[in-house]
Amino acid sequence: MIAYRGADPDFSLRGKTAIISGGAGGIGYATAEFFAGKGVHLVLADLNADADSIAKKLGPENVGVTGTICDGTFRKNVFERALAAFGRVDILLNIAGIGPLERAEAYCEEDWDRTMNVNLKASFMMAQIAGAYWIEHKQDGCIVNMASQAGVVALDRHVAYCASKAAVISMTKVLAFEWGKYGIRVNCVSPTVVLTELGRRAWDNPAGEAFKKEIPAGRFAEPDEIAGVIAFLCGDAAAMITGHNLVVDGAYTIK
């Protein structure tokens, strides 16, 4: 059962431990920074060789682990490092992702497999480790998966990305359905274009300006807006929210 502990007006997460895949850059880093400000212990799993120093900039006790979440040994190591450092894991944020773009008729098998492995398979395997641990130890837990508006509507040249993110949304629902009785909540967030460094490079052009005109809100999202949504989903105020895909797209997908 998912317990109700009251709606904390401060939306506190203090003292919790969060593993964040892709935590050394982009949305992952913005979320790590947001969570650090709320007193969360952080374990950042990232390809970046400087993951540990990046984590420690947000707090000397934090941990960064360098490697790929597509590797099973690395995934286990991330959880072992979290337990060794903090004695518990409360939150898993599956934020790491990729999105090679190409028209469907020219999309290569290698990029298809890589996209599915990173965006879908690795997220599930990370969730499986967390879920199995929480079930065994009779501990509540919270998972937030990173999906996308591309998992809700079709986007040009996004065939593998759209398919992987739609699958993440479906996976989220199944995990929430199966694990709710253990006190485990599983949700996902589906942003529009987010103005990370990569997002700015990709969309600061005429195509980006045209895309913005299709968004009723008239702009793209900022990284800390996504971080705030994730933090809300991880707190006690969201105790009755599980299996939900929270779309953060300025109303783009309601058309």
Q: Which residue has the higher pLDDT, 39 or 198?
A: 39
User: What per-residue confidence (pLDDT) applies to 108?
Assistant: 97
User: What per-residue confidence (pLDDT) applies to 198?
Assistant: 86
Q: Average pLDDT, whole number, for the chain?
A: 96
pLDDT in tens, 120-136: 999 999 999 999 999 99
Q: Any idea what DSSP says for residue 215?
A: S
What are the extents of the domains in the chain? 17-100+107-247
- 103-134 burial string, b = 16+ CB within 10 Å, else e? eeeebeeebbeebebbbbbbbbbbbebbbebb
Active site residue 29: no
**Is 80 exceeded by the pLDDT of residue 9?**
no
The architecture CATH gives domain 17-100+107-247: 3-Layer(aba) Sandwich (3.40)
**Is 90 exceeded by the pLDDT of residue 49?**
yes
Global confidence as pTM: 0.97
Average pLDDT of the residues in 6-11: 80
> What is the percent of the chain where pLDDT is above 70?
100
**Is 90 exceeded by the pLDDT of residue 84?**
yes
CA distance 95 to 148: 11
Of 56-65, 192-201, 215-224, the one with minimum mean pLDDT is 192-201
Q: Which of 4, 29, 107, 161 is catalytic?
A: 161
> What is the percent of the chain where pLDDT is above 90?
92
3-state secondary structure of 47: coil
User: What per-residue confidence (pLDDT) applies to 5?
Assistant: 85
User: What per-residue confidence (pLDDT) applies to 202?
Assistant: 85
3-state secondary structure of 92: strand
**Is 80 exceeded by the pLDDT of residue 7?**
no
CA distance 37 to 124: 28
